[in-house]
């Protein structure tokens, strides 16, 4: 029996929601962070540690660029220049002497001396501290502090990449390592508040030796979802995102009157990796054919919306060790097919659906990478090569790449600081777990050259060594460098003065200024 009711039941929930909206309403046009001179940065992930001695992930390093200072730093062109040090000299290839600037203060007012420098590196080198950076400094046999402002490093053998590692942040003597209680530094901003997994608030350090930053407060939010980063920017609750906005959302950003898009060359090279132990891919002709069958221009134009530059090396063209005269591998389907025929893999039915052979292509779960893999799959099919695209959770994917359980894969080199990468990635002794020669490449000349490059301290000579290495790699093609993504900054119109460096250095936040709102401007 249906129950009859004359009175209609109200819907308190909806009313409750309306009440909430009404309650929150008056505050909705509240002041934006930019009105208070605050820069709000969105990073795509949370840092694992805010300690320069143990942090390795990109998010941690980016935060540390704002809070800590090292002996050296990189200028916008990527060259090493003194930072905490006022000068550096190398009396012999195994000895580096740094003079500190006098009067540098840590965030708590303590003076930074040579003892702090020695402590920081000795801490890293102490095995019981399990620092991931130990290997980078293991050529050090002694650190001496002849006086308060002088530090002398002695190395076991000449090691050119040593200077590039001297950008690591210095912490005060006797700083314990604790995850969420970050050690203080001598950088332009000090950590004011840490909300694990949510945000870090930085306040400017008035005693910063490089001059007080103009921005009084920097909030770094961790927002993993790219749509939400976009919406936060649109709202104005985030006003600075470097490389966190998907290319296809940029047109929408451009329509927003409060936001500005800036673009500059980047340094992270994406590449196609070949397994040289594979029965098809051990043949250089097959590797070249695959490279020639990939229409990089089309992928850059459509999937990256033009925000990438074709690569010819894993080093970016702006980097000092990049070799300029490398031959370009053109998109040439006819030549690709001819090379495959030559290698003995004839297409059974010409341009028909049957393939010469099928390869597995592994990639991470990133949606854009997966779309790129699908595009490559489609392009290779036109050359008669079948591609089986598989996407894995990162740990599994990376584990497979290192153990050699792959035929093709797509990856990106991030944070290349020194051409010594060629030793790590292409020396025959550097097959994982010893190094990062994931492709199982072996070439005597490359072995010899990359060893010499580590010992050679003269930059001109080093450049010539790595030019030769890049020529050999362009010929042998153990990896096919695809493209280098451009650095894209989306910022509030009123924030100015940031320099986009190829390696995304956040320390330039210290030069930013906030201009007052234009009269009558409304969001």
Listed in sequence order, the DSSP H helices in 217-309 are 226-235, 250-254, 284-293, 296-302
Q: Per CB under 8 A, does 522 bind another protein?
A: no
Q: Which of residues 7-36 bind another protein (CB under 8 A)?
A: 7-13, 16-17, 20-21, 24-25, 27-29
For another protein, how many residues bind (rule: CB under 8 A)?
Answer: 68
Instruction: Give the residue with the Cβ less far from another protein, 195 or 458.
Output: 195
Rounded distance between C-alpha atoms, residue 211 and residue 100, angstroms: 17
User: Using CB under 8 A, which of the segments 125-133, 262-270, 327-335, 340-348 binds another protein?
Assistant: 125-133
8 A C-beta contact, residue 174 and residue 119: yes
- 386 and 359 in contact (C-beta within 8 Å)? yes
Closest approach of another protein to the CB of residue 131, in Å: 9
Task: Write out the DSSP string of 5-29.
Answer: -SSPPP-HHHHHHHHHHHHHGGGTT
In the complex with another protein, the residue whose CB is nearer, 223 or 489, is 223
Site string for another protein, 352-391 (x = CB under 8 A): ----------------------------------------
Choice from 77, 102, 103, 224 touching another protein (CB under 8 A): 224
Distance (Å, whole) CA 30 – CA 150 = 51
| CB 205, CB 189: distance < 8 Å | yes
Taking the complex as a whole, how short is the minimal distance between the CB of residue 120 and another protein, in angstroms? 17
Residue whose structure tokens are 């097919």: 337
Q: How far is Cα 479 from Cα 482, in angstroms, rounded to an integer? A: 9
Give CA separation, 328 vs 21, 286, 332, 464, in Å. Answer: 59, 17, 12, 19
Question: Would you say 294 or 315 has its CB closer to another protein?
Answer: 315
Among 209, 331, 398, 511, binds another protein (CB under 8 A): 398
Q: Is 396 a binder of another protein (CB under 8 A)?
A: yes
Q: Is 3 in the site for another protein (CB under 8 A)?
A: yes
> What is the rounded distance in angstroms from the CA atom of residue 290 to the CA atom of residue 185?
49
Specify the residue, 135 or 518, whose C-beta has the smaller distance to another protein: 135
Check if the beta carbon of residue 304 is closer than 8 Å to that of residue 483.
yes
CB of 187 to another protein, least distance (A): 21
| By CB under 8 A, residue 251 contacts another protein | no
For another protein, which residue of 86, 87, 92, 227 counts as binding (CB under 8 A)?
227
Helix (H/G/I), strand (E/B), else coil: 253: helix
In terms of CB distance, is 232 or 309 closer to another protein?
Answer: 232
Q: What is the 3-state secondary structure (H, E, C) of 208-240?
A: CCCCCCCCCEEEEEECCCHHHHHHHHHHCCCCE
Cα(420)–Cα(417) distance, integer angstroms = 8
Using the rule CB under 8 A, is 417 a contact of another protein?
Answer: no
- Can you give the binding site for another protein, defined by CB under 8 A? 1-5, 7-13, 16-17, 20-21, 24-25, 27-29, 46, 48-49, 54, 56, 127, 130, 132, 134-136, 138, 177-180, 195-199, 221-225, 227-228, 231-232, 234-235, 237, 393-396, 398-400, 402, 424, 432-436
């Amino acid at each position: 029996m249906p129950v009859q009711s004359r009175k209609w039941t109200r819907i308190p929930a909806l009313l409750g929601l309306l009440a909430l909206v009404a309650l929150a309403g008056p505050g909705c046009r509240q002041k934006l962070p930019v009105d208070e001179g605050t820069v709000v940065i969105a990073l795509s992930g949370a840092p694992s540690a805010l300690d320069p001695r143990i942090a390795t992930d990109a998010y941690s390093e980016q935060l540390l660029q704002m809070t800590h200072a090292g002996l050296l730093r990189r200028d916008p062109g990527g060259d090493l220049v003194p930072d905490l040090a006022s000068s550096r000299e190398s009396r012999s290839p195994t000895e580096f002497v740094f003079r500190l600037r006098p009067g540098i203060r840590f965030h708590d007012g303590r003076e930074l001396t040579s003892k702090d420098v020695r402590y920081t590196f000795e801490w890293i080198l102490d095995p019981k501290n399990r620092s991931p950076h130990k290997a980078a400094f293991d050529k050090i046999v002694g650190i001496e502090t002849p006086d308060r402002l002088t530090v002398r490093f002695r190395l076991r053998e000449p090691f050119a990449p040593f200077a590039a590692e001297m950008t690591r942040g210095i912490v005060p003597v006797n700083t314990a390592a604790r995850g969420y209680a970050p050690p203080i530094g001598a950088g332009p901003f000090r950590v004011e508040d840490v909300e694990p997994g949510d945000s870090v608030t930085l306040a400017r350090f008035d005693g910063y030796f490089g001059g007080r930053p103009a921005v009084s407060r920097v909030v770094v939010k961790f927002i993993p979802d790219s749509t939400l980063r976009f919406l936060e920017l649109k709202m104005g609750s985030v006003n600075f995102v470097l490389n966190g906005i998907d290319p296809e959302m940029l047109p929408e950003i451009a329509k927003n009157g409060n936001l500005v898009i800036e673009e500059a060359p980047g340094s992270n090279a994406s590449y196609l990796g070949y397994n040289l132990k594979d029965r098809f891919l051990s043949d250089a002709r097959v590797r070249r054919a695959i490279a020639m069958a990939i229409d990089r221009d089309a992928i850059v134009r459509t999937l990256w919306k033009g925000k990438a530059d074709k690569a010819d090396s894993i080093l970016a063209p702006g980097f000092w060790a990049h070799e300029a005269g490398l031959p370009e591998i053109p998109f040439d389907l006819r030549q690709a097919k001819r090379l495959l025929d030559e290698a003995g893999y004839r297409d059974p039915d010409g341009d028909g659906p049957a393939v010469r052979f099928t390869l597995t292509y592994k990639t991470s779960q990133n949606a854009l990478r997966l779309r790129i893999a699908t595009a490559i799959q489609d392009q290779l099919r036109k050359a008669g090569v079948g591609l089986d695209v598989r996407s894995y959770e990162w740990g599994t994917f990376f584990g497979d790449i290192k153990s050699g359980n792959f035929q093709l894969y797509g990856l990106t080199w991030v944070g290349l600081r020194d051409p010594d990468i060629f030793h790590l990635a292409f020396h025959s002794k550097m097959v994982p777990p010893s190094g990062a020669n994931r492709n199982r490449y072996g070439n005597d000349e490359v072995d010899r050259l990359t060893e010499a490059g580590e010992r050679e301290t003269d930059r001109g000579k080093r450049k010539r060594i790595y030019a030769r290495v890049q020529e050999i790699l362009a010929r042998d093609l153990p990896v096919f460098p695809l493209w280098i993504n451009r650095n894209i900054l989306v910022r509030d119109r009123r924030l100015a003065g940031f320099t986009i460096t190829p390696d995304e250095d956040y320390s330039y936040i210290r030069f930013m200024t906030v201009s007052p709102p234009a009269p009558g401007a409304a969001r």
